[in-house]
A and B are shown apart, each in its own frame.
Chain A
Amino acid sequence: MSRTVTVERRRRLRLDDASVEPGAFDRTFIRIADLEFRYGEDGFRLSVPGFTVDRAEKVAVIGPSGSGKTTLLNLIAGIVTPLTGSVSVDGVEISGLDDEARRRFRLTEVGIVFQDLGLLDYLNLFDNIVHAYRLARALKVDKGVRARAEALAQGMDIGDQLERFPHELSHGERQQVAVCRALVHRPRLVLADQATGCLHPTEKDRMLSLLFRSAEVYEATVVAVIHDHDLLSRFDRVVEMQDLGAWENTRA
């Protein structure tokens, strides 16, 4: 099953055989090894000697501000690439792919909830949920996708607001839209950067429930940066940045 999925995914990513690491079909889904990253010449530095996440595991990442939590997610998503070392997802070395392949990987395999949400003001909520995937033809917006988007929105209790625009909503509601967008294309990896930051405790619970329920249905792996320590018990594992590696903020 795992091998079939990986081969299918490699076909979608248009990768050659050389990009698959030995032992790619084990249960490890994310593998970071000997990673060194730096923003610019004298910017923030992050070192991660080793970090693995199992398939379908739900991992919370915690740590102080400026410790590189968002950078870690960006590295896993292939938004930025390390100076040295490697980042592999499901046996494919993401850090070794070119820009187009990394974009394709994000579009087809990853659902991301950004800290700044990244919603577009000029699109209503439904269009925001399907926008990127429709634009890149990764998702044909048919009845099935429409129903899925609506079901996700219903799950977040914003199902009756799909025709409204982001500026008409509270920040918490916009966060919920961002989570719907991250799940609508049934990703196999969900990266959430403080997705519950501005929500009421009951809404936080509901959002995590929806996130985990969707993840379980599609056997997706979840890595979430989180500051709400009362939610940590719902994750399979909690990783502290201090234990993960070292960082240095030279401009601080």
Chain B
Amino acid sequence: MLDSLYIAWRSVSFNKAKTAPLVVCVALILALPAFLHLLSQELERQALSHPVSVPATATGGATPVVVEAAPSGSESGGSTRSSGDAGRPAVNAGGVNRLIGSLFFIVVAVVVLLLGLALRVSLLLRAKEMFALYKLGCPRAMMARQVVLEVLMVALAGGALCSVLLLVAHYYAGGLVDVLIGL
């Protein structure tokens, strides 16, 4: 096993240009749900820490805008409406969350597909190497174990990068939410 680990490490570390995008993809896949959850929590925390109704003047108009803060995800709360928009449907926070959720799944699906593509291309690029090992007589199981170990190493590196990203995101979540709301 140590020999296989050593060989896998040599392969992963030598092919940095191929390994780095794979590690980033894995880190993104792992970090994205947690990151969105973190932002959502921070948004909710900031909303709850403010008064229930905050009168404000919308830019470019004299009509006051009222923001009602409530826990996100609730059907009744979290809507934003202008006091002059009586009778028009309000923008629902639940709807926004569903939209974010849908976008998140699309992003994850695309990243997973790209990851699969990268793995496939990587295997195709290594087909010659695998054939050489076959011709020398390496058992199929050994070759498979080699690939699995390399994939595990990439996954572990992705997990580590994901942890770092989340730590940074956790530290700067408040500022990030302010920036996003400002946008």
Contacts and interface: CB of A to CB of B under 8 A. Distances in A.
B132 A141 contact: no
B7 interface: yes
B135 A114 contact: yes
A136 B132 contact: no
Interface residues of A, number: 29
B139 A100 contact: yes
A97 to B, nearest CB: 12
Interface stretch (A40-48, A119-127, A198-206, A215-223): A119-127
A119 to B, nearest CB: 8
Given A122-B11, A123-B10, A127-B10, A107 B136 contact: yes
Given A122-B15, A123-B7, A132 B136 contact: yes
Category for how many chain B residues contact A: 20 to 34
Contacts of B135: 77, 79, 106, 112, 114, 118
A52 to B, nearest CB: 24
A55 B142 CA distance: 32
A79 B132 CA distance: 11
Contacts of A146: none
Contacts of B128: 116, 118
A213 interface: no
Nearest to A130: B3
Contacts of B36: none
B97 to A, nearest CB: 46
Contact of B136 (A100, A112, A123, A141): A112
B137 A104 contact: yes
Interface string A105-117: 1111010101010
Contacts of A135: 3-4, 7, 133, 138, 142, 146
B128 to A, nearest CB: 8
Contacts of B10: 122-123, 127
Interface of B: 3-4, 7, 10-11, 13-15, 128-129, 131-140, 142, 146
Given A104-B139, A118-B132, 16 more contacts: A112-B135, A112-B136, A114-B132, A116-B132, A119-B132, A120-B129, A120-B132, A121-B14, A122-B14, A122-B15, A127-B10, A132-B133, A132-B138, A134-B7, A135-B7, A141-B3
Interface of A: 77, 79, 100, 102-108, 110, 112, 114, 116, 118-123, 127, 131-132, 134-138, 141
7 contacts: A79-B134, A79-B135, A103-B139, A114-B135, A120-B132, A135-B3, A135-B133
